[in-house]
Amino acid sequence: FNVNLFRPALFLIIALGTVGFAGVGTLFAAMAVNTRAREGMLPVLLFSVSVPIIISAVKATGAVLDNSPLSELVPWLRLLLVFDIIFLSLSFITFEYVMEE
């Protein structure tokens, strides 16, 4: 398709999406490890909470690959960044409580 994939914005999207998904996944995996239905509980929790990460990463990637103006990219990057900050903070705050249960 002759698309240049070496763009700084694309690397930023990949990094923010990965950090957000890993943060949410780690928090919910730690919460689900002691439940009886952990095999079914983790995918349901993880999918429902990570939908904003997936949607914003896909929309931001589309904006970068379409050479859209920066004004179309910034709201999606902002959503990814805010989501990462919220869930990483929540993970650090609740880590001891989650590991005790």
- Structural domain including 38 reads 8-100
Predicted pLDDT of residue 101 = 63
Question: What burial letters (b/e) apply to 57-70, b meaning 16+ CB within 10 Å?
Answer: bebbbebbeeeeee
Residue 3 lies in a domain: no
C-alpha to C-alpha distances, 18 to 2, 15, 25, 39, nearest whole angstrom: 25, 5, 10, 22
Predicted pLDDT of residue 40 = 87
Q: Cα-flanking dihedrals φ and ψ of residue 80, to 5°?
A: -60, -45
Predicted pLDDT of residue 17 = 96
Residue 34 lies in a domain: yes
Residue 82 lies in a domain: yes
Count of domains forming the chain: 1
How far apart are the C-alpha atoms of 49 and 87, rounded to whole Å?
A: 10
pTM of the model as a whole: 0.87
Residue 92 lies in a domain: yes
Residue 44 lies in a domain: yes
Contact 84, 50 (CB under 8 A): no
Number of C-beta neighbours around residue 3 at 10 A: 8
Residue 1 lies in a domain: no
Residue 67 lies in a domain: yes
Residue 2 lies in a domain: no
Q: What is the mean pLDDT of each run of 10 residues along the chain (101 residues)?
A: 86 96 90 83 90 96 93 96 94 86 63
